[in-house]
Structure 1
Amino acid sequence: MKKNLSLLLPIVWTLIFSFFFILMINITLQYIPIKNDVAFLQIKQTEVHKIPSYLTLFYIHVYSAIFVLLAGFTQFSNFILKKYPAIHRNIGKLYVIIIVFLSAPSGLFIGIFANGGFFSKVSFVTLSILWFYCTLKGFLHIKNKNIALHKAYMLRSFTLTFSAITLRFWKVILVYLFQPSPMDLYQIIAWLGWIPNLLIIECYLYNQSKK
């Protein structure tokens, strides 16, 4: 039974991830070619026109997020890790570089101008700081040959990366069930997008440490 479950879980996980990754691709395609009044940007025209760097950093965040989402997903494959360690290392380096230098800083910047008021801004800024911190710590731990802490911090990093998907998941659920006002929705999903993810991974890491 346990063996069948261990074989089934990766398949289920892959199917779920693939569905939402395709959703993210479709969302990203809305921003190709670059425009200043498409999709989400339609409600950010004040920032687009009054803050010169907003549009550039927004697109850096949107485009880089797709790469780190896919790269991060491959990093937890035991098959790749055991059979192709060089691929694991190289993709991992790419993942770290993109988050530390592109995705997290741009996320921090656009988080300052997030919809939903002060509490939404605090959430997205906090998310970006934690994302940067966990990713960098994961990298530094593997440089120091501490595999256990490297894995722990990279799991935290990827669960924060995955918030790009869970945020949209919660948005669909809440709109379907409750039809909240747009501003209320932003305030809720700003926190739901990443805090449950992080709590789950912390519980997992705690349980692993007790074994």
Structure 2
Amino acid sequence: MPTELSLRPAAPGARAGRPAVAVLTLTSLAVAAFAVLPYLTSSLDTLARDDVGLAAGYAGAPPLVLAAFYVHVVAGGLALVCAPLQLWAGLRRGRPRVHRWVGRTYVVAVAVGGTSGLVLAPVNQAGLVGALGFGALAVLWLWTTWRGYRAVRAHDVGAHRDWMTRSFALTYAGVTLRLWTTGLVAAQALVLGDAVSPDAAFDRAYALVPFLSWVPNLVVAELVVRRRRRARERPGAVGHPPR
């Protein structure tokens, strides 16, 4: 028998958020496909010769680093596929079992991707800034996801949503990293023209993205969480005790 909550029409705020969820979903799936598939279909040496992604930085690396790199690519891609699916309210309400299994897959993907990210942080291509930025990203990715998992196990749905919002913001760094890098390289070409080589422009851009790729995301996530929390605490809201 449907519950009263499931029969309630979507709130105006929820309807307004659908385009944003659609954009997040499409960009996440696009990056998961185009950033992961090349590493699974060609060797690193071949990709390095074609100057694809980060292949040149890891071709010829020690076996442990290579293993961590491939594990991180696959697990991060899987997390990017799973995360936006969890944002769709229709899936949560209409297919709760699917929502739970996708969520479990996401938690495992983050656990594997975050751990391998910690292995890669010291050998990244951005030096000390990269080690600090990507290392902090990996730690926070693991921590927020664990807190979200613990919250839902304790049946605290509100805290679960809040922590998983933060976790997804960090997962989405896989998208924003590429957007920032592309934008910064293009800006240098526009301003400096032929005075900067493509390789130098990429190196300068990549020196900034270890923090740019996730700090703004987390700020936005925190604003969303606080707005949602205020809505939950408003008198008359579902689950709020009457005064």
> Do the structures match in fold with TM over 0.5?
yes
The alignment yields a C-alpha RMSD, in angstroms, of 2.0
> Which residue of 1 is the match for residue 101 of structure 2?
90
> Which residue of 1 is the match for residue 174 of structure 2?
164
Structure 1 residue 4, shift from structure 2 partner: 7.8
SS in 1 for 2:39: coil
Do residues 155 (structure 1) and 155 (structure 2) align?
Answer: no
What is the CA deviation profile of residues 31-60 of structure 1, one whole-angstrom value per residue up to 9, with x for unaligned ones?
Answer: 123523223221334xx33x2211111011
Identity among equivalent pairs (%): 23
In structure 2, relative to structure 1, the CA distance for the partners of 1:178 and 1:204 (3 Å cut) is same
Give the TM-score normalised by the residue count of structure 1.
0.88
Contact between 2:79 and 2:171, CA under 8 Å: does it hold in 1?
yes
Do residues 18 (structure 1) and 38 (structure 2) align?
Answer: no
| Structure 1 residues without counterparts, runs of 5 or longer | none
> Which residue of 1 is the match for residue 147 of structure 2?
137
Structure 1 residue 172, shift from structure 2 partner: 1.3
Give the TM-score normalised by the residue count of structure 2.
0.77
> Which residue of 1 is the match for residue 37 of structure 2?
29
In structure 2, relative to structure 1, the CA distance for the partners of 1:16 and 1:96 (3 Å cut) is closer
Taking the aligned partners of 2:99 and 2:149, their CA distance within structure 1 comes to 13
Larger radius of gyration: 2
Q: How many residues of Structure 1 are paired with residues of Structure 2 in the alignment?
A: 205
- Residue 64 of structure 1, aligned match among 47, 66, 75: 75
Do residues 184 (structure 1) and 204 (structure 2) align?
Answer: yes
Contact between 1:21 and 1:165, CA under 8 Å: does it hold in 2?
no
In structure 2, relative to structure 1, the CA distance for the partners of 1:16 and 1:126 (3 Å cut) is closer
| Structure 2 residues without counterparts, runs of 5 or longer | 1-10, 190-199, 232-243
Taking the aligned partners of 2:39 and 2:153, their CA distance within structure 1 comes to 37
